[in-house]
């Protein structure tokens, strides 16, 4: 029986030193498997300047205008977040190749990539399904993609004054945050910006959303964990009459009075999970979670 022909969409960070070498190895492998290879335009152009052989590349694409059986993200966690925003609801698995430092989401090491691709061809791989948030506003047109795998942050724009964020959940008033901002995170994003602001770690399959204030004015304001079937509505007041909203790091200025609604998106992001990797082990090794940092005498 002839091997099934597969197609791959490749995203990458052109500034990673290992990207060019790893890309050569990927293209050689996929060429031998007679795969259809599509490369995101910005990454392709950066590699083209380094004279990477491109005979195995069938076409280049912009944004989310591609069809593929699988996506490959070559970089770090930031690259995977960008790839996830383009993959969106396509329901295809993403292989996150870690060419960076942390690699909490992008767990596949370069030396593990060939084996991971072998597993893709034999359908012998695990999948981590990660929830996504969607943000909507009826009062202002958004120019950024409103879907977040990690978090949506409401932030002040100026250095002098805090903002007031009136929050309600399923139509019921929750609290007014007087703070530098508010982070609404998925379990995936709980180990990112939210964690650095004192938020809890949420297990990926916990079906929860966390609201974590940024530098709150009151010590009585603490992070709160909600079920992920709720609808969160936010109204923002600011002395500068505007504020920033950041969706997985993609930011846009909104005007005071903009009503923001946040809820779980109707799709999930599917990340290929190496069989030898475990979530709690990753917490301990990558984030040094639970490590005794006291000096040993």
Q: Which residue has the higher pLDDT, 107 or 248?
A: 248
Cα–Cα dist 121/128, whole Å: 18
Task: Please state, rounded to an integer, the average pLDDT across all residues of the chain.
Answer: 90
Angle at 182 between CA 181 and CA 188, to 5 degrees: 135
33, 6 Cβ separation under 8 angstroms: yes
259, 138 Cβ separation under 8 angstroms: yes
Asked if the domains at 7-125+275-286 and 133-265 fall in one CATH topology, the answer is no
For the chain, the maximum distance between any two Cα atoms, rounded to a whole number of angstroms, is 68
Q: How many CB atoms lie within 10 A of CB 11?
A: 26
Residue 53, C-beta contacts closer than 8 angstroms, at least 6 positions apart:
24, 27
47, 63 Cβ separation under 8 angstroms: no
- pLDDT confidence of residue 291: 74
CATH class of 133-265: mainly beta
190, 251 Cβ separation under 8 angstroms: no
Q: Which residues are catalytic?
A: 77
Q: Enter the DSSP assignment of 7.
A: E
- pLDDT confidence of residue 170: 98
Q: Which of 211, 297, 225, 221 is nearest to 262 (CA)?
A: 211
What's the pLDDT tens digit per position in 27-47? 999 999 999 999 999 988 888
What's the pLDDT tens digit per position in 103-122? 788 889 888 999 999 999 99
- pLDDT confidence of residue 157: 87
Domain residue ranges in the chain? 7-125+275-286, 133-265
What's the pLDDT tens digit per position in 122-173? 998 999 999 999 999 987 788 899 999 999 999 998 776 899 999 999 999 9
In this model, does residue 253 exceed pLDDT 80? yes
- pLDDT confidence of residue 258: 85
In this model, does residue 53 exceed pLDDT 70? no
CATH class of 7-125+275-286: alpha beta
Confidence band (pLDDT; 50, 70, 90) for 60?
very high
In this model, does residue 269 exceed pLDDT 90? yes
Residue linked to tokens 């969409």: 9
CA distances in angstroms from 76 to 43, 108, 121, 182, listed in the order given: 14, 10, 24, 25
């Amino acid at each position: 029986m002839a091997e099934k022909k597969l197609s791959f969409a490749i995203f990458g960070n052109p500034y990673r030193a290992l990207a060019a070498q790893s890309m050569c190895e990927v293209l050689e492998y996929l060429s031998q498997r007679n795969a259809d290879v599509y490369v995101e335009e910005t990454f392709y152009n950066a590699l083209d300047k380094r004279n990477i052989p491109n005979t195995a590349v069938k076409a280049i694409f912009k944004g989310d205008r591609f069809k593929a059986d699988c996506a490959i993200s070559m970089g770090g966690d930031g690259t995977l977040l960008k790839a996830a925003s383009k993959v969106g609801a396509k329901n295809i698995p993403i292989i996150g190749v870690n060419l960076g430092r942390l690699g909490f989401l992008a767990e596949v090491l370069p030396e593990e990539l060939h084996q991971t691709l072998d597993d893709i061809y034999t359908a012998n791989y695990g999948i981590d399904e990660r929830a996504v948030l969607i943000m909507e506003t009826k009062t202002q047109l958004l120019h950024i993609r409103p879907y977040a795998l990690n978090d949506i942050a409401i932030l002040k724009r100026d250095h002098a004054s805090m903002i007031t964020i009136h929050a309600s959940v399923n139509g019921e008033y929750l609290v007014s945050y007087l703070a530098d901002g508010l982070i609404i995170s998925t379990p995936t994003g709980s180990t990112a910006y939210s964690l650095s602001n004192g938020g809890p770690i949420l297990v990926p399959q916990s079906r929860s959303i966390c609201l974590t204030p940024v530098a709150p004015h009151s010590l009585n304001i603490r992070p709160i964990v909600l079920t992920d079937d709720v609808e969160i509505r936010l109204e923002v007041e600011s002395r500068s009459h505007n504020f920033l909203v950041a969706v997985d790091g993609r930011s846009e200025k909104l005007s005071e009075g903009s009503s923001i609604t946040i809820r779980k998106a109707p799709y999930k992001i599917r990340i290929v999970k190496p069989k030898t990797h475990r979530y709690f082990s990753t917490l301990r090794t990558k984030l040094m979670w639970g490590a005794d940092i006291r000096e040993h005498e």
